[in-house]
Structure 1
Amino acid sequence: MIGLRAIQEGVAALTLCLTIAGSPVQACELPADRQARLEAAIDSAVAEGRAAGVSVAVLHDEHLVFSHSAGLADLERNASATSATVYRIASLTKQFTAAGVLLLAEQGRLSIDDQLSVYMPDFPRADEVTLRDLINHTAGVHNYTESDAADRISDTGATVPELISAIAGQDPLYDFAPGTMWHYSNSNYALLGAVIEKVSGQTYAQFMKVTIFDRLGMADTAVDDNGAIAPRRASGYSLTGGQPGAYRHAGHLDMSVPYAAGAIRSTVADLARWNAALYGGRLLSAASLAQMTGPGLLRNGAETQTAVYWPGEPGVPPEGLIPGPYAFGLDHYSINGHRVVGHNGSLPGFDAVMNVYPDDDMTIIVLTNTSGAAGQLEWQLSQIVLDAR
């Protein structure tokens, strides 16, 4: 296996880096042979019918070293996918929500260890749950997208109070005592969105726009709304019976339902800006960034041992994968000796992955407009980027 030294030597061979207008991200190039392999893998995903459209960006440190898109953002209009194509990024939203809570904490407007009851006193057992529990998925609140709570509002949509009421009405509401176990639950991040609104006096969409998107020059990023006009928006597709190339329009989902757990839309170019600002220390304080990128803990001090995302085939961990903790919208694990900090996201018609390989100073961003298409492709690309074959 070729590790960090080879990556550094490969990137050291770059001779040109151009600053992207309005962004600290710089555009460089990977060696030509590696670029060709990456492009071939992306093109194959489209040619084999696994994805209608794909957009990919790879960063080394804060530098954009590779960008490539393939296929169609809209099959009916024959619109090509590009680095400016707007995709729904689903649960990649969670790291934005977590960062928003940390920014409010930096302003002294809340504490990560506040009880939920400070902001939502009527929520059942809110005095037993802290904001940290919600952020780290250790609160025990049942996942509303795994119950009929979401089904009842997926088509019609819901106001934030209606969404919180639907979550609170689940039976059982708690899967375990808060702080004692880990289980991935979109309910946690919906509750955090409501807290952000309570503390900031803004809607979640307004807060994210002013506090993060505008600040970082993420002009194509927003909390999505089904009625919003978004230039260069991708249409979402699923595969009929899972058959490659058998595309059909994905089922409708009102974006008020995923809310602060998964409603953001973005581009690979904007996510590159986000990644560079977050890990470059230009958004959060050093202390907040350390919290966000550190391991998640239970109240007894044990790490939350889990892996939200298995590379490659869903549910089948590859050889060499070691699960790690989850915290602040980011999953931690290692694969073949390479640490990974990142997340995946899935909504009807869209699939996304953004993984940081911190020991290699590499980031891979994959956005697709086809259900279930991003994970396997990111895994393939990581093998090329890290030259692990």
Structure 2
Amino acid sequence: MVAGHQPEKAVADVTGAGLRVGVVGGSVAGCALAIAAVRSGADVTVYERSDGALEDRGFGIVVPPPLHAELVGAGYLDAGMPTAPVPSRVWLTGEPGQRTARELARQPAAVTPCHWGLLWRTLRARADGVTYHRGRPVTEVLRHPSGGAVIRTAESEARYDIVVGADGPRSVTRAAVAPQVRPVPARYVVWRGTLPLDVLAAHPHLGELVRTAWITLGFQGGHGVFYLIPGAVEGSRLLAYALYGPPPPPSWTAGREEYVRRVAEEHFPADWADVVGRGVHTSLACHDVADFHVPRVAEPPFLLAGDAASITRPHTASGATKALQDALCLERALRASSSAAEALRRYADERSDEGARLVALGRRLGQAMVERTPDWAAMGPVEVAEWSRATLDGAASYLYGGAER
């Protein structure tokens, strides 16, 4: 717990008072939903499958600045949690024979980058009064004949008024709510990595750039995204990136870092390729890109949140954002309702369409930025703005500033 901190307590007459809520999954989504429920007066138990140190997960994420401010104001996040906000997005591409990238455009697109582990640690500390079981995978959730639902693990069985599924893409809870929903794979992958900041020492112009903007570096068949995040050590920074493109061929046996370096050397300008190739990664993973959404994200007594409810292609940068918005919605729904069932219906009415919207947006962005990339070298500020508006097709996205208008 955070020393000296007591989260805001819910008023006595809210709907959640007296409810027993079980949360399956204890990462970012699970902790945020647990906070929402306990703030509404519920007795909350969280079941997390991993017995490892979740705070050690070091990948970068971004959230919209207004959402970050709302979460701080509401007491979900500590104002002192390190972030690395920047106000702008810079579009770059490489050109034959040039060592450095050419700037295509700048857009006002403010983001608040975070360290996943630090975000989880803050939410976990704010979940005061929650019973948190680590290393307790849930084997089954099912309706109880007398109402509510049962959560089963290898060690125990317990009944709850509401079961929140925040257990990610392979959700046990989703299997009880929407067993027909399956991920739809894309034909490309995303590499996520973090590098120590000293990789920028030989390229001070890049260091100056990422301190004031986040970067999209386009190439034929994919793109890279770069931004700074806080490090796990107080006061430190890491360079986070996501690299989209085809998966390694089956014949590739040289290792993950070597493949990322090869892609960077093939497609990036020399300075950016040197940054990716020079450093020793503090984290690196390859993820198959896929998406899905559950048509209705709550069916009493079950509720789905975060990646258990929907996954969009990562171009929307909405994973943590949607989970945190899900939590705020649940708290509002519990406070505004006269029963748990009514609260879940309110939640489903508000959040179900958002998953479908984000999946559609992610597919358009994936097609435009990976599957059918434009001729980046022929583009400038006007062309990037026109391409952005056409790709968004009227959808709002904090990653594109005012481009949707």
| TM-score bracket, shorter-length normalisation | under 0.3
Using the size of structure 1 for normalisation, the TM-score is 0.24
In our comparison, the structure showing a higher alpha carbon Rg is: 2
Q: Give 1 or 2: higher strand fraction.
A: 2
Structure 2 length as normaliser, TM-score? 0.24
